[in-house]
Amino acid sequence: KYSLHHDQYLKNYLSTEVKNIIGIGREVQGKRKNGDVFPIDLAVSKIVVGGKVLLSGIIRDITENKQAQERIQKLAFKDTLTELPNRQLLLDRVGHAIENSKRYQYSTALIFIDLDDFKIINDSAGHMTGDRVLIEVANRLQTRLRHSDTLARIGGDEFVVLLEKVDQTIVLHTMERLLQSLSDSIMIDEQKYFISASIGTASYPQDGKDVATLFSNADTAMYTAKNAGKNRYSFFVAQMNEEVTRKHKIIQNLQSAIEKGSFTLVFQPQVSLEDNTVIGAEALIRWTDEELGFVSPAEFIPVAESSGLIVPITMWVIKTACLAIKTIRNQESEFKIAINISSLQIKEKKFVEIIHQTVIDSDISPRQIELEITEGALIDNIEDTIKKIQLLKSYGYRIAIDDFGTGYSSLSYVKQLGFEKLKIDQTFVRNLPNDENDIGLTKSIIAMGKALGMKIIAEGAETKESVAFLKENGCDMVQGYYFSQPLSLEDFLQFFAEFNDT
Ligand code: C2E
Ligand code: MG
Ligand code: MG
């Protein structure tokens, strides 16, 4: 019925091993008539009949046994409901991640996610519905992560994320995104379920140097979040509790700042290296609160994003920038103002309409506005982002990719999106021309950007040497303290006039 695949193996087997052994089973490969290879179990016995030695073999097809084995293997590492890695596999991966972090000296974070009051859904709607909610939760969490991150389910309503090679900002953003992914209700059989989670994190090496400590500290942080009122996150460090309070304060005070319009906008010149002229400016928001004092946009913009306050703030920025353009336009018609767009805001349904309406109402041509979008914005929901960016481009807006080099955007997306301008992140520019790594990175980003037809601007150039290096290597524009800090409109106008004069 079967022809044996490994003829040579069989011959050797029969001539040597079987000589003195009777009835042993060995796994070899067989070949079916149609050519498929399959595993067989081969047992050979020696029979002596009338002085003659005969060999008798039994061949057994063990395809099904093998498949069952594989299934068991998989079950041992996968959570059967969500198909996510289970605790076993997670522990294994965390172990490896810690080893790698030690060897290559990077930071690795564990994020514990515990659903709030999940028991109520289970008790009131039944376990079947509870299971479907869990599957949806798993899917939503997964879409907010990078491919290299591990999402595991380690208990009824407990999930854990393993993030390798991250800093605390990425961890914070990831937690914001995980929380946000649950903010829309889950629809099952035309019934809405509202889910939130308490999230806690601990990182190697600062919060723990072994698997057990990291697990326990991430768990503690998660409980801190739960105790502080659920639907929030907490870092393991005790002082993070203070930050939660501060965040609440910021949200409160931002609200009244929006009502009163108590922000200011400053403008940082962008200089063309080709002819040494100011060709534009980036608009940067400033906020000094009566109670909190000066709060950096790097701190309050993310808070505004997660609380939805970013929409009115952006509208204020655009209106104010348009007014500034009117003042500057008398002097320079090609002048552009760059406005930062928060990555979370792009997801808003009416994102394009809101921006465009504000610009039109201000009686400004979209051509004088450049929208800076960070790389981070491109990771998820790429189709939707492409559509919106193309619509903006069709209206005449210029689009720049901000903080390039810090995210994970693939080159093909960057190309598809047709950005006009690429902004090299300041972390690469800061140490030019002394840091070998940064030299290499900057050169290749410039080459790549040019190959894709983009103009290149470097951000954060502080020294004469770095500007010279950038110019030599084909960078088109520079924005940084070397030329100027961000300036009030009045100071900017003066700088502009003097700079382009000399
Ligand atoms: P960004 O868009 O990458 O802005 C550049 C930041 O680098 C600004 O910080 C700027 O002051 C700073 N910078 C520029 N040149 C140099 C330099 O030579 N050396 C150093 N050390 N720093 C330099 P800023 O104004 O604090 O803004 C931080 C971030 O906050 C911005 O990063 C942007 O992501 C966000 N942001 C600021 N204004 C707005 C806004 O109106 N809307 C939104 N959505 N985000 C904003
Ligand atoms: Mg920017
Ligand atoms: Mg930037």
Average pLDDT of span 78-86: 93
Q: Which atom of ligand 1 is nearest to the CA of 403?
A: 3
Q: Long-range pairs for 32-41 at CB < 8 Å and ≥24 separation? A: 32/2, 33/3, 37/5, 38/63, 39/63, 39/66, 40/2
d(CA 152, CA 231): 20
The answer, yes or no, to whether residue 25 has pLDDT greater than 70, is no
pLDDT of residue 411: 66
Residues bordering ligand 3, an ion, CB closer than 5 Å:
402-403, 459
Average pLDDT of span 375-404: 86
Average pLDDT of span 35-47: 78
Of the listed ranges 5-19, 247-261, 299-313, 432-446, the one predicted with least confidence: 5-19
Pocket test for ligand 1, best of 426, 427, 430 (most atoms within 8 A of CB): 426
Closest ligand to C-alpha of residue 341 is: 1
3-state secondary structure of 63: helix
Helical segments of 80-210, H only: 87-104, 118-125, 127-143, 168-181
Pocket test for ligand 1, best of 268, 282, 284, 462 (most atoms within 8 A of CB): 284
Closest ligand to C-alpha of residue 271 is: 1
For tokens 């595991």, the residue is 152
Tens of pLDDT, residue by residue over 156-208, are 999 999 999 999 999 999 999 999 999 999 999 999 999 999 999 999 999 98
- The closest of 495, 500, 435 to 465, measured between CA atoms, is 435
The tokens describing 452, both together, are 């894709």
The tokens describing 375, both together, are 């790389």
d(CA 146, CA 210): 24
d(CA 429, CA 473): 13
Q: Please report how the helices 127-143 and 168-181 are oriented relative to each other, as an axis angle in degrees rounded to 10.
A: 140
pLDDT category of residue 1 using cuts at 50, 70 and 90: very low
340 CB near ligand 1 (under 6 Å): yes
Bridging pattern class, strands 158-163 and 150-155: antiparallel
As a whole number, the mean pLDDT across the chain is: 88
301 CB near ligand 1 (under 6 Å): yes
269 CB near ligand 1 (under 6 Å): no
**141 vs 306 pLDDT, higher one:** 141
Ligand 3 center–CA 135 separation, angstroms: 37
299 CB near ligand 1 (under 6 Å): no
Burial 226-253 (b: 16+ CB within 10 A, else e): bebeebbbbbbbeebbeebeebeebbeb
pLDDT of residue 49: 78
Q: Which atom of ligand 1 is nearest to the CA of 345?
A: 44
Q: Which helix (H) or strand (E) holds 324?
A: helix 310-329
DSSP string, 14-61: HHTGGGT--SEEEEEEEE-TTS-EEEEEEEEEEEEETTEEEEEEEEEE
- Residue with CA nearest ligand 1 atom 13: 460
405 CB near ligand 1 (under 6 Å): no
Q: Which amino acid is at 151?
A: L
The answer, yes or no, to whether residue 3 has pLDDT greater than 50, is no
285 CB near ligand 1 (under 6 Å): yes
Average pLDDT of span 323-345: 85
d(CA 393, CA 150): 36
The answer, yes or no, to whether residue 242 has pLDDT greater than 70, is no
Tally DSSP H helices, then E strands, for the chain. Answer: 17, 20
Ligand 2 center–CA 223 separation, angstroms: 36
pLDDT category of residue 409 using cuts at 50, 70 and 90: low
User: pTM for the whole thing?
Assistant: 0.61
- The closest of 417, 313, 315 to 360, measured between CA atoms, is 315
Of the listed ranges 45-59, 72-86, 123-137, 141-155, the one predicted with least confidence: 45-59
- Whether residue 46 contacts residue 22, with contact meaning beta carbons closer than 8 Å, is answered with yes
The answer, yes or no, to whether residue 282 has pLDDT greater than 60, is yes
Q: Which atom of ligand 1 is nearest to the CA of 341?
A: 44
Ligand 2 center–CA 402 separation, angstroms: 6
Closest ligand to C-alpha of residue 284 is: 1
- Whether residue 305 contacts residue 250, with contact meaning beta carbons closer than 8 Å, is answered with no
284 CB near ligand 1 (under 6 Å): yes
Q: What angle do CA 57, 62, 65 make, to 5 degrees?
A: 145
